[in-house]
Amino acid sequence: MNYETIVIGAGLAGMLAALVRAERGERVMMLAKGHGSTHWAAGCLDLLADADDPLGAINQLVQARPAHPYALAGVAALEQALARVRGVAEAAGYPLVGNAGRNLLMPTALGALRPTAFVPATMVNGEARQLGDGRPILIAGLHELRDFFPPLIAANLRAQGYAAEGVYLELPPVERSHDFNPVVMARLFERPAFRAEIGRQLATLVRKGGYARVGLPAVLGLYNAVEVVRELQALTGALIFEIPTLPTSVPGMRLFHAFEQALTKAGARIQIGGWVLRGEGSGSHLHAVFSEAASREQRHMARRWVLATGGIMGGGLRAEHTGVISETALGLPVRTPSGRSDWFQARFLDEAGHPVFRAGIAVDAQLRPLDAADQIVYTNVAVVGSALADCDPIREGCLEGIALATGFAAGQL
Protein backbone atom coordinates (compact mmCIF):
# COMPACT_ATOMS: atom_id res chain seq x y z
CA MET A 1 0.00 0.00 0.00
CA ASN A 2 1.14 3.48 -0.78
CA TYR A 3 0.80 6.00 1.99
CA GLU A 4 0.81 9.72 1.72
CA THR A 5 2.53 9.98 5.10
CA ILE A 6 4.33 7.43 7.17
CA VAL A 7 5.21 8.49 10.69
CA ILE A 8 8.04 6.50 12.23
CA GLY A 9 7.65 6.35 16.02
CA ALA A 10 4.67 6.14 18.36
CA GLY A 11 5.42 8.66 21.07
CA LEU A 12 3.43 11.85 21.57
CA ALA A 13 5.22 13.61 18.70
CA GLY A 14 4.56 10.83 16.22
CA MET A 15 0.99 10.26 17.34
CA LEU A 16 0.05 13.93 17.06
CA ALA A 17 1.74 14.30 13.65
CA ALA A 18 -0.05 11.19 12.39
CA LEU A 19 -3.38 12.39 13.74
CA VAL A 20 -3.17 15.86 12.24
CA ARG A 21 -2.23 14.49 8.82
CA ALA A 22 -4.90 11.79 8.94
CA GLU A 23 -7.51 14.39 9.89
CA ARG A 24 -6.51 16.29 6.78
CA GLY A 25 -7.66 13.27 4.81
CA GLU A 26 -4.29 11.71 4.06
CA ARG A 27 -3.62 7.98 4.04
CA VAL A 28 -1.37 7.71 7.07
CA MET A 29 0.51 4.92 8.77
CA MET A 30 2.25 5.15 12.11
CA LEU A 31 5.08 2.61 12.12
CA ALA A 32 7.03 2.02 15.33
CA LYS A 33 9.37 -0.39 16.97
CA GLY A 34 7.49 -0.11 20.27
CA HIS A 35 5.80 2.32 22.56
CA GLY A 36 7.25 5.74 23.18
CA SER A 37 8.11 7.58 26.35
CA THR A 38 4.41 7.88 27.23
CA HIS A 39 4.82 4.51 28.91
CA TRP A 40 7.76 5.67 31.02
CA ALA A 41 7.02 9.29 31.92
CA ALA A 42 4.59 10.74 34.44
CA GLY A 43 1.67 11.08 32.04
CA CYS A 44 1.52 14.86 32.40
CA LEU A 45 2.41 17.55 29.87
CA ASP A 46 5.68 19.25 30.83
CA LEU A 47 6.19 22.46 28.87
CA LEU A 48 9.11 24.05 30.70
CA ALA A 49 10.06 23.16 34.24
CA ASP A 50 11.79 26.11 35.75
CA ALA A 51 9.24 28.83 35.14
CA ASP A 52 6.08 29.85 36.91
CA ASP A 53 4.70 30.86 33.54
CA PRO A 54 5.95 28.32 31.01
CA LEU A 55 4.36 29.94 27.99
CA GLY A 56 5.88 33.30 28.82
CA ALA A 57 9.26 31.69 29.37
CA ILE A 58 8.98 29.79 26.08
CA ASN A 59 8.29 33.08 24.30
CA GLN A 60 11.60 34.36 25.65
CA LEU A 61 13.38 31.07 24.95
CA VAL A 62 12.52 31.06 21.24
CA GLN A 63 14.15 34.49 20.93
CA ALA A 64 17.28 33.49 22.80
CA ARG A 65 17.74 30.03 21.28
CA PRO A 66 16.66 30.01 17.64
CA ALA A 67 17.79 26.40 17.12
CA HIS A 68 15.68 25.10 20.01
CA PRO A 69 12.81 22.82 18.89
CA TYR A 70 10.30 25.30 20.34
CA ALA A 71 11.75 28.03 18.14
CA LEU A 72 11.57 25.80 15.06
CA ALA A 73 7.98 24.75 15.70
CA GLY A 74 6.84 28.17 16.89
CA VAL A 75 4.80 29.11 19.93
CA ALA A 76 1.59 29.12 17.89
CA ALA A 77 2.13 25.48 16.99
CA LEU A 78 2.58 24.67 20.66
CA GLU A 79 -0.68 26.39 21.58
CA GLN A 80 -2.62 24.67 18.81
CA ALA A 81 -1.00 21.34 19.71
CA LEU A 82 -2.11 21.72 23.31
CA ALA A 83 -5.66 22.42 22.23
CA ARG A 84 -5.65 19.38 19.97
CA VAL A 85 -4.17 16.98 22.52
CA ARG A 86 -6.64 18.16 25.11
CA GLY A 87 -9.39 17.48 22.60
CA VAL A 88 -8.08 13.96 22.05
CA ALA A 89 -7.96 13.28 25.79
CA GLU A 90 -11.38 14.81 26.37
CA ALA A 91 -12.91 12.65 23.63
CA ALA A 92 -11.54 9.58 25.42
CA GLY A 93 -13.18 10.70 28.66
CA TYR A 94 -9.83 11.55 30.20
CA PRO A 95 -9.58 15.34 30.34
CA LEU A 96 -6.29 17.15 30.86
CA VAL A 97 -6.41 20.12 33.22
CA GLY A 98 -4.04 23.04 33.48
CA ASN A 99 -2.80 26.22 31.94
CA ALA A 100 0.18 26.90 29.70
CA GLY A 101 0.63 30.17 31.56
CA ARG A 102 1.04 28.66 34.99
CA ASN A 103 2.88 25.55 36.12
CA LEU A 104 1.19 23.23 38.55
CA LEU A 105 3.26 21.67 41.32
CA MET A 106 2.46 17.99 41.58
CA PRO A 107 3.55 15.58 44.32
CA THR A 108 5.71 12.71 43.13
CA ALA A 109 6.09 9.18 44.47
CA LEU A 110 8.99 10.55 46.53
CA GLY A 111 6.90 13.36 47.94
CA ALA A 112 8.85 15.97 45.98
CA LEU A 113 6.87 18.65 44.15
CA ARG A 114 7.40 18.65 40.42
CA PRO A 115 6.27 21.42 38.07
CA THR A 116 4.19 20.53 35.02
CA ALA A 117 1.64 22.43 32.95
CA PHE A 118 -1.20 19.97 32.34
CA VAL A 119 -2.25 16.96 34.35
CA PRO A 120 -5.05 14.45 33.93
CA ALA A 121 -8.19 15.35 35.87
CA THR A 122 -7.44 12.31 38.05
CA MET A 123 -4.37 14.06 39.48
CA VAL A 124 -5.43 17.66 39.81
CA ASN A 125 -6.74 17.46 43.37
CA GLY A 126 -3.17 16.86 44.48
CA GLU A 127 -1.83 20.16 43.21
CA ALA A 128 0.37 21.78 45.86
CA ARG A 129 -1.67 24.99 46.21
CA GLN A 130 -4.72 22.89 47.03
CA LEU A 131 -2.75 20.62 49.33
CA GLY A 132 -1.60 23.70 51.20
CA ASP A 133 -5.03 24.58 52.55
CA GLY A 134 -4.01 23.03 55.88
CA ARG A 135 -6.58 20.27 55.87
CA PRO A 136 -5.23 16.75 56.50
CA ILE A 137 -4.12 14.61 53.57
CA LEU A 138 -3.90 10.85 53.43
CA ILE A 139 -1.45 9.10 51.09
CA ALA A 140 -2.53 5.49 50.68
CA GLY A 141 -1.02 2.59 48.79
CA LEU A 142 -0.75 -1.15 48.80
CA HIS A 143 2.22 -3.16 50.08
CA GLU A 144 1.99 -5.37 47.02
CA LEU A 145 2.71 -2.46 44.68
CA ARG A 146 6.48 -1.90 44.95
CA ASP A 147 6.39 1.31 42.97
CA PHE A 148 4.71 3.57 45.48
CA PHE A 149 5.60 3.99 49.17
CA PRO A 150 3.13 6.16 51.14
CA PRO A 151 5.15 6.69 54.37
CA LEU A 152 8.08 8.33 52.57
CA ILE A 153 5.80 10.39 50.32
CA ALA A 154 3.85 11.66 53.32
CA ALA A 155 6.99 12.39 55.35
CA ASN A 156 8.50 14.43 52.55
CA LEU A 157 5.25 16.32 52.08
CA ARG A 158 5.16 17.05 55.83
CA ALA A 159 8.74 18.34 55.62
CA GLN A 160 7.47 20.85 53.07
CA GLY A 161 4.59 21.97 55.26
CA TYR A 162 1.73 19.77 54.08
CA ALA A 163 -0.34 17.85 56.61
CA ALA A 164 0.11 14.41 55.08
CA GLU A 165 0.06 10.94 56.57
CA GLY A 166 0.91 7.68 54.84
CA VAL A 167 -0.86 4.36 55.14
CA TYR A 168 -1.01 0.96 53.48
CA LEU A 169 -4.38 -0.55 52.61
CA GLU A 170 -5.23 -4.24 52.61
CA LEU A 171 -5.23 -5.79 49.17
CA PRO A 172 -8.80 -6.82 48.36
CA PRO A 173 -9.10 -10.56 47.67
CA VAL A 174 -7.86 -11.59 44.22
CA GLU A 175 -8.14 -15.08 42.83
CA ARG A 176 -4.46 -15.73 42.12
CA SER A 177 -1.08 -14.31 42.97
CA HIS A 178 0.07 -11.62 40.59
CA ASP A 179 3.17 -9.63 40.03
CA PHE A 180 1.50 -6.45 41.20
CA ASN A 181 3.06 -3.98 38.82
CA PRO A 182 1.20 -0.75 38.03
CA VAL A 183 -0.52 -2.20 34.95
CA VAL A 184 -1.81 -5.24 36.82
CA MET A 185 -3.04 -2.96 39.60
CA ALA A 186 -4.78 -0.73 37.07
CA ARG A 187 -6.57 -3.76 35.63
CA LEU A 188 -7.70 -4.74 39.12
CA PHE A 189 -9.12 -1.25 39.62
CA GLU A 190 -11.25 -1.86 36.52
CA ARG A 191 -13.19 -4.34 38.66
CA PRO A 192 -16.09 -2.80 40.58
CA ALA A 193 -15.73 -5.17 43.55
CA PHE A 194 -12.02 -4.43 43.90
CA ARG A 195 -12.41 -0.67 43.99
CA ALA A 196 -15.48 -0.88 46.19
CA GLU A 197 -13.40 -2.68 48.78
CA ILE A 198 -10.62 -0.08 48.48
CA GLY A 199 -13.30 2.62 48.83
CA ARG A 200 -14.68 0.96 51.96
CA GLN A 201 -11.24 0.91 53.60
CA LEU A 202 -10.58 4.50 52.60
CA ALA A 203 -13.99 5.62 53.87
CA THR A 204 -13.18 4.23 57.31
CA LEU A 205 -9.80 5.96 57.37
CA VAL A 206 -11.28 9.26 56.17
CA ARG A 207 -14.00 9.11 58.80
CA LYS A 208 -11.48 8.49 61.57
CA GLY A 209 -8.78 10.86 60.39
CA GLY A 210 -10.87 13.66 58.93
CA TYR A 211 -8.84 13.69 55.72
CA ALA A 212 -9.93 16.17 53.09
CA ARG A 213 -7.80 14.62 50.37
CA VAL A 214 -6.53 11.17 49.57
CA GLY A 215 -3.54 10.56 47.30
CA LEU A 216 -3.34 7.15 45.62
CA PRO A 217 -0.91 5.60 43.15
CA ALA A 218 -1.78 6.41 39.54
CA VAL A 219 -3.19 2.95 38.89
CA LEU A 220 -6.90 3.72 39.22
CA GLY A 221 -7.95 1.91 36.08
CA LEU A 222 -6.64 1.85 32.53
CA TYR A 223 -9.75 2.96 30.64
CA ASN A 224 -12.12 4.54 33.13
CA ALA A 225 -9.90 6.34 35.62
CA VAL A 226 -12.09 9.43 35.83
CA GLU A 227 -15.02 7.21 36.72
CA VAL A 228 -12.97 5.35 39.34
CA VAL A 229 -11.91 8.62 40.95
CA ARG A 230 -15.48 9.88 40.99
CA GLU A 231 -16.66 6.64 42.56
CA LEU A 232 -13.96 6.69 45.25
CA GLN A 233 -14.82 10.32 46.02
CA ALA A 234 -18.45 9.38 46.45
CA LEU A 235 -17.54 6.47 48.73
CA THR A 236 -15.12 8.42 50.91
CA GLY A 237 -16.35 11.98 50.83
CA ALA A 238 -12.74 13.09 50.27
CA LEU A 239 -11.08 14.49 47.16
CA ILE A 240 -9.09 11.76 45.45
CA PHE A 241 -5.92 12.33 43.44
CA GLU A 242 -3.45 10.10 41.68
CA ILE A 243 0.34 10.31 42.02
CA PRO A 244 2.49 8.85 39.21
CA THR A 245 4.34 5.65 40.17
CA LEU A 246 7.58 4.20 38.87
CA PRO A 247 7.14 2.98 35.27
CA THR A 248 5.23 1.40 33.63
CA SER A 249 3.22 4.61 33.53
CA VAL A 250 -0.49 3.93 33.65
CA PRO A 251 -1.38 7.61 33.01
CA GLY A 252 0.94 7.54 29.99
CA MET A 253 -0.77 4.41 28.70
CA ARG A 254 -4.11 6.18 29.01
CA LEU A 255 -2.81 9.02 26.85
CA PHE A 256 -1.56 6.47 24.33
CA HIS A 257 -4.96 4.79 24.27
CA ALA A 258 -6.70 8.14 23.77
CA PHE A 259 -4.52 8.77 20.72
CA GLU A 260 -5.05 5.23 19.50
CA GLN A 261 -8.80 5.84 19.49
CA ALA A 262 -8.44 9.17 17.72
CA LEU A 263 -6.07 7.74 15.11
CA THR A 264 -8.33 4.80 14.42
CA LYS A 265 -11.28 7.13 14.07
CA ALA A 266 -9.32 9.29 11.65
CA GLY A 267 -8.52 6.21 9.56
CA ALA A 268 -4.80 6.03 10.27
CA ARG A 269 -3.11 2.66 10.43
CA ILE A 270 -0.92 1.79 13.42
CA GLN A 271 1.80 -0.81 13.14
CA ILE A 272 3.82 -1.43 16.27
CA GLY A 273 6.61 -3.97 16.29
CA GLY A 274 8.20 -2.85 13.05
CA TRP A 275 11.72 -1.61 13.54
CA VAL A 276 12.84 0.75 10.78
CA LEU A 277 16.46 -0.04 9.99
CA ARG A 278 17.19 1.94 6.84
CA GLY A 279 15.75 4.14 4.15
CA GLU A 280 15.95 4.21 0.39
CA GLY A 281 16.12 7.48 -1.43
CA SER A 282 17.38 9.21 -4.51
CA GLY A 283 18.99 12.57 -4.16
CA SER A 284 17.12 14.46 -1.49
CA HIS A 285 13.94 12.38 -1.79
CA LEU A 286 13.16 9.45 0.51
CA HIS A 287 11.14 6.78 -1.32
CA ALA A 288 10.88 3.93 1.11
CA VAL A 289 11.99 2.54 4.43
CA PHE A 290 12.70 -1.03 5.44
CA SER A 291 11.43 -2.37 8.71
CA GLU A 292 12.18 -5.60 10.45
CA ALA A 293 9.50 -7.52 12.29
CA ALA A 294 9.38 -11.23 13.08
CA SER A 295 12.69 -11.69 11.22
CA ARG A 296 11.17 -10.42 8.02
CA GLU A 297 12.08 -7.27 6.21
CA GLN A 298 9.25 -5.13 4.94
CA ARG A 299 9.41 -2.24 2.51
CA HIS A 300 7.16 0.73 3.13
CA MET A 301 6.51 3.50 0.61
CA ALA A 302 5.19 6.99 1.20
CA ARG A 303 5.33 10.46 -0.28
CA ARG A 304 6.11 12.15 2.99
CA TRP A 305 7.76 11.03 6.18
CA VAL A 306 7.81 12.11 9.79
CA LEU A 307 10.73 10.81 11.85
CA ALA A 308 9.61 10.62 15.48
CA THR A 309 11.90 7.91 16.80
CA GLY A 310 13.10 9.76 19.88
CA GLY A 311 16.54 10.52 21.22
CA ILE A 312 18.99 8.29 23.01
CA MET A 313 16.31 7.02 25.39
CA GLY A 314 13.81 6.27 22.65
CA GLY A 315 16.41 4.53 20.52
CA GLY A 316 16.25 7.04 17.67
CA LEU A 317 19.86 7.94 18.42
CA ARG A 318 22.58 5.52 19.37
CA ALA A 319 26.01 6.33 20.75
CA GLU A 320 29.07 4.19 20.15
CA HIS A 321 32.07 3.98 22.44
CA THR A 322 34.12 5.61 19.71
CA GLY A 323 32.23 8.85 20.37
CA VAL A 324 30.08 8.60 17.25
CA ILE A 325 26.32 9.09 17.62
CA SER A 326 24.15 7.83 14.81
CA GLU A 327 20.51 8.15 13.84
CA THR A 328 19.16 4.61 13.73
CA ALA A 329 16.34 4.64 11.16
CA LEU A 330 17.59 6.63 8.19
CA GLY A 331 21.22 7.24 9.02
CA LEU A 332 20.73 11.01 9.17
CA PRO A 333 23.67 13.18 10.25
CA VAL A 334 23.68 13.86 13.98
CA ARG A 335 24.95 16.98 15.71
CA THR A 336 27.08 15.71 18.56
CA PRO A 337 28.10 18.28 21.14
CA SER A 338 31.74 17.25 21.52
CA GLY A 339 34.02 14.27 22.10
CA ARG A 340 33.07 11.48 24.49
CA SER A 341 35.24 12.94 27.23
CA ASP A 342 32.88 15.94 27.43
CA TRP A 343 29.60 14.08 27.22
CA PHE A 344 28.95 13.91 30.94
CA GLN A 345 28.91 16.05 34.05
CA ALA A 346 30.60 14.73 37.16
CA ARG A 347 27.31 14.86 39.06
CA PHE A 348 24.38 12.77 37.85
CA LEU A 349 21.83 15.40 38.86
CA ASP A 350 23.86 18.40 37.71
CA GLU A 351 21.38 21.18 36.88
CA ALA A 352 23.07 21.80 33.54
CA GLY A 353 22.29 18.29 32.29
CA HIS A 354 24.72 16.06 30.41
CA PRO A 355 25.87 17.49 27.07
CA VAL A 356 25.50 14.14 25.28
CA PHE A 357 21.74 14.42 25.59
CA ARG A 358 21.72 17.58 23.51
CA ALA A 359 22.85 15.54 20.56
CA GLY A 360 20.30 15.27 17.80
CA ILE A 361 19.36 16.11 14.27
CA ALA A 362 19.60 19.68 13.07
CA VAL A 363 16.65 20.80 10.96
CA ASP A 364 15.50 23.83 9.01
CA ALA A 365 12.37 25.89 9.68
CA GLN A 366 10.27 23.17 8.05
CA LEU A 367 11.87 20.51 10.27
CA ARG A 368 13.78 19.00 7.33
CA PRO A 369 17.03 17.28 8.34
CA LEU A 370 20.28 19.11 7.64
CA ASP A 371 23.78 17.80 7.15
CA ALA A 372 26.95 19.30 8.61
CA ALA A 373 27.02 21.92 5.83
CA ASP A 374 23.41 22.88 6.59
CA GLN A 375 22.19 21.32 3.33
CA ILE A 376 18.81 19.56 3.37
CA VAL A 377 19.26 15.78 3.41
CA TYR A 378 15.67 14.83 2.51
CA THR A 379 13.10 17.38 1.41
CA ASN A 380 10.17 15.07 2.22
CA VAL A 381 11.18 14.18 5.78
CA ALA A 382 10.27 16.11 8.92
CA VAL A 383 12.06 15.35 12.17
CA VAL A 384 10.14 15.84 15.41
CA GLY A 385 10.39 15.33 19.16
CA SER A 386 13.39 14.18 21.14
CA ALA A 387 15.40 13.32 18.02
CA LEU A 388 16.01 17.04 17.51
CA ALA A 389 19.30 18.68 18.45
CA ASP A 390 20.00 21.50 20.88
CA CYS A 391 17.60 20.53 23.61
CA ASP A 392 17.65 18.30 26.67
CA PRO A 393 13.92 17.63 27.04
CA ILE A 394 14.18 15.88 30.39
CA ARG A 395 16.38 18.41 32.16
CA GLU A 396 14.64 21.40 30.60
CA GLY A 397 11.32 19.85 31.58
CA CYS A 398 9.79 20.13 28.13
CA LEU A 399 9.59 16.49 27.06
CA GLU A 400 5.90 16.56 26.11
CA GLY A 401 5.93 20.21 25.06
CA ILE A 402 8.50 19.86 22.30
CA ALA A 403 7.00 16.53 21.20
CA LEU A 404 3.58 18.12 20.78
CA ALA A 405 4.76 21.41 19.26
CA THR A 406 7.00 19.79 16.65
CA GLY A 407 4.59 16.92 16.01
CA PHE A 408 1.80 19.39 15.34
CA ALA A 409 4.04 21.52 13.15
CA ALA A 410 4.96 18.46 11.07
CA GLY A 411 1.27 17.76 10.66
CA GLN A 412 0.75 21.24 9.22
CA LEU A 413 3.55 21.21 6.65
Q: Is the dihedral of CA 85, 96, 157, 42 positive or negative?
A: negative
Smaller CB separation from another protein, 112 or 193: 112
Q: Please tell me the distance from the alpha carbon of residue 94 to that of residue 404, in angstroms, as a whole number.
A: 18
Q: Is 305 in contact with 381 (CB distance < 8 Å)?
A: yes
Smaller CB separation from another protein, 74 or 247: 247
Footprint of another protein on residues 356-395 (CB under 8 A)? 356-357, 394-395
Smaller CB separation from another protein, 158 or 230: 158
Footprint of another protein on residues 130-169 (CB under 8 A)? 144, 146-147, 149, 151-152, 155-156, 158-160
- Choices 63-71, 195-203, 208-216, 347-355; region in contact with another protein by CB under 8 A: 347-355
Smaller CB separation from another protein, 152 or 288: 152
- Choices 10-18, 118-126, 177-185, 258-266; region in contact with another protein by CB under 8 A: 177-185
Options 247, 281, 337, 355; binder of another protein; rule CB under 8 A: 247
Smaller CB separation from another protein, 91 or 110: 110
Options 4, 27, 40, 281; binder of another protein; rule CB under 8 A: 40
Name the minimum Å distance from CB 141 to another protein: 10
Name the minimum Å distance from CB 132 to another protein: 16
Q: Is 77 in contact with 283 (CB distance < 8 Å)?
A: no
Name the minimum Å distance from CB 114 to another protein: 4
Options 246, 266, 270, 413; binder of another protein; rule CB under 8 A: 246
**Contact letters (x/-) for another protein, 277-306, by CB under 8 A?**
------------------------------
Smaller CB separation from another protein, 247 or 281: 247
Options 75, 277, 313, 376; binder of another protein; rule CB under 8 A: 313
Q: What number of chain residues touch another protein (CB under 8 A)?
A: 55
Options 97, 203, 312, 376; binder of another protein; rule CB under 8 A: 312
Name the minimum Å distance from CB 399 to another protein: 6
Q: Please tell me the distance from the alpha carbon of residue 161 to that of residue 135, in angstroms, as a whole number.
A: 11
175 part of the interface to another protein, by CB under 8 A: no
- Choices 17-25, 203-211, 330-338, 349-357; region in contact with another protein by CB under 8 A: 349-357
Name the minimum Å distance from CB 323 to another protein: 8
Q: Please tell me the distance from the alpha carbon of residue 29 to that of residue 263, in angstroms, as a whole number.
A: 10
Q: Please tell me the distance from the alpha carbon of residue 413 to that of residue 355, in angstroms, as a whole number.
A: 30
- Choices 5-13, 69-77, 110-118, 199-207; region in contact with another protein by CB under 8 A: 110-118
Binding site for another protein (CB under 8 A): 37, 40-42, 46, 108-114, 144, 146-147, 149, 151-152, 155-156, 158-160, 177-180, 244, 246-247, 249, 311-313, 315, 318-321, 340-341, 343-344, 346-349, 351, 354, 356-357, 394-395, 397, 399
